[in-house]
Amino acid sequence: LADAYIEGEIEIYPDVLDLLHLVLANKPQGDEAVSPLAWSPLQLVTPLAKRYYAMLHARRANTLSGSKRNIEAHYDLSNAMFQMFLSRDMTYSAGIFDEEVDSLAKRGPGTGEDFLELAQRKKLDRIVDTINLQDGDTVLEIGCGWGSMAIRAVQRCPGIKRWVGLTLSTQQLELAKGRVATAGLSDKIHIVLCDYRDAAATFGAGYFSKVVSIEMIEAVGHEFLPGYFAAIDECLCPGGLAAIQAICVPDGRYESYRQGSDFIRERIFPGSNLVSLGEVKRACEKGCTSLEFHGEPFSVGQSYAKTLREWRVRFGAHEAEIRREVSTFGEGFDDRFLRRWHYYFAYCEAGFASGHIDDWQICLRKGGNETGHTAARRSASSFNGDALHGAHAKLLAEGLLSRPKKALMHVAVNASQRLLDMGLLPDWAVRFGIRLKLRQKIQEEESGSVEVDQASKLAFVESLKKMPIAICTAEANEQHYEVPPELYHLWLGPRKKYSGCIFPEGAHPRLAAQAAELLPAAEERSLEQYVERAELEDGMAILDLGCGWGSLSLFLAKRLPAALVVGVSNSHGQRGWIMNEAQKQGITNLRIVTCDVSQVPLADAALPELRKERPGASFDRALSVEMFEH
**Residue that wins the pLDDT comparison between 300 and 386:** 300
Q: Say yes or no to pLDDT of 389 above 90.
A: no
Q: How many CB atoms lie within 10 A of CB 303?
A: 20
- The residue-averaged pLDDT of 108-135 equals 94
What pLDDT does residue 382 have? 37
What pLDDT does residue 33 have? 53
Please check whether residue 386 is in contact with residue 406, taking contact to mean a CB–CB distance below 8 angstroms: yes
Q: Say yes or no to pLDDT of 80 above 80.
A: yes
What pLDDT does residue 390 have? 30
Q: Domain of 207: which CATH number?
A: 3.40.50.150
**Residue that wins the pLDDT comparison between 283 and 462:** 283
Q: Say yes or no to pLDDT of 374 above 70.
A: no
Lowest mean pLDDT across 124-138, 177-191, 337-351, 560-574: 560-574
Residue 292 banded pLDDT, cuts 50, 70, 90: very high
Lowest mean pLDDT across 12-21, 41-50, 175-184, 418-427: 41-50
What pLDDT does residue 455 have? 76
Do the domain assignments include residue 489? yes
Tell me: do 491 and 358 sit in the same domain. Answer: no
C-alpha distances (whole Å) from 204 to each of 163, 199, 460, 493, 527 are 15, 8, 18, 49, 41
DSSP category for residue 9: S
Do the domain assignments include residue 398? no
* Structure confidence by residue, pLDDT tens digits, 146-171: 999 999 999 999 999 999 999 999 99
Q: Say yes or no to pLDDT of 37 above 70.
A: no
Lowest mean pLDDT across 44-53, 241-250, 288-297, 556-565: 44-53
Q: Say yes or no to pLDDT of 563 above 90.
A: yes
Q: Where does a domain end: 366, 390, 407?
A: 366
Residue of 309, 371, 336 lying closest to 102 (CA atoms)? 309
Q: Say yes or no to pLDDT of 524 above 50.
A: yes
Count: domains in the chain? 2
Stated as kind and residue range, the H or E segment containing 365 is strand 358-366
Helices 170-182 & 148-156, crossing angle to 10 degrees? 30
Do the domain assignments include residue 34? no
Q: Where does a domain end: 320, 337, 366?
A: 366
Task: Supply the mean pLDDT for the chain.
Answer: 84
Q: Say yes or no to pLDDT of 34 above 80.
A: no
What pLDDT does residue 442 have? 74
In this prediction, what percent of the chain has a pLDDT beyond 70? 79
Lowest mean pLDDT across 257-266, 522-531, 604-613: 257-266
In this prediction, what percent of the chain has a pLDDT beyond 90? 56
What's the rounded Cα separation, in Å, for the pair 37 and 351? 9
What pLDDT does residue 452 have? 72
Residue 379 banded pLDDT, cuts 50, 70, 90: very low
**Residue that wins the pLDDT comparison between 179 and 36:** 179
Do the domain assignments include residue 44? no
- The residue-averaged pLDDT of 444-460 equals 72
Q: Say yes or no to pLDDT of 388 above 50.
A: no
Do the domain assignments include residue 195? yes
Do the domain assignments include residue 40? no
Checking phi first, is residue 387 left (phi over 0); if not, alpha (psi -120 to 50) or beta? alpha
Q: Say yes or no to pLDDT of 423 above 60.
A: yes
What pLDDT does residue 111 have? 75
Q: Say yes or no to pLDDT of 307 above 90.
A: yes
C-alpha distances (whole Å) from 507 to each of 166, 431, 435, 495, 519 are 48, 19, 20, 20, 11
Residue 194 banded pLDDT, cuts 50, 70, 90: very high
Q: Say yes or no to pLDDT of 548 above 60.
A: yes
* Structure confidence by residue, pLDDT tens digits, 620-630: 999 999 987 77
Do the domain assignments include residue 500? yes
User: Domain range holding 600?
Assistant: 485-623
What pLDDT does residue 482 have? 63
Please check whether residue 478 is in contact with residue 604, taking contact to mean a CB–CB distance below 8 angstroms: no
- The residue-averaged pLDDT of 373-381 equals 49
- The residue-averaged pLDDT of 474-498 equals 77
The model carries a pTM of 0.59
**Residue that wins the pLDDT comparison between 563 and 474:** 563
Residue 601 banded pLDDT, cuts 50, 70, 90: confident
295 Cβ contact list (under 8 Å, min separation 6): 130, 363
Q: Say yes or no to pLDDT of 617 above 70.
A: yes
Please check whether residue 168 is in contact with residue 196, taking contact to mean a CB–CB distance below 8 angstroms: no
Q: Where does a domain end: 366, 390, 411?
A: 366
Q: Say yes or no to pLDDT of 469 above 70.
A: no
What's the rounded Cα separation, in Å, for the pair 351 and 343? 12
- The residue-averaged pLDDT of 481-488 equals 72
Please check whether residue 54 is in contact with residue 261, taking contact to mean a CB–CB distance below 8 angstroms: yes
Residue of 351, 79, 319 lying closest to 218 (CA atoms)? 351
What pLDDT does residue 40 have? 44
Q: Say yes or no to pLDDT of 296 above 60.
A: yes
- The residue-averaged pLDDT of 451-462 equals 76
Do the domain assignments include residue 93? yes
What pLDDT does residue 471 have? 63
150 Cβ contact list (under 8 Å, min separation 6): 141, 144, 163, 165, 176, 180, 185, 189, 191
**Residue that wins the pLDDT comparison between 478 and 80:** 80
- The residue-averaged pLDDT of 32-44 equals 48
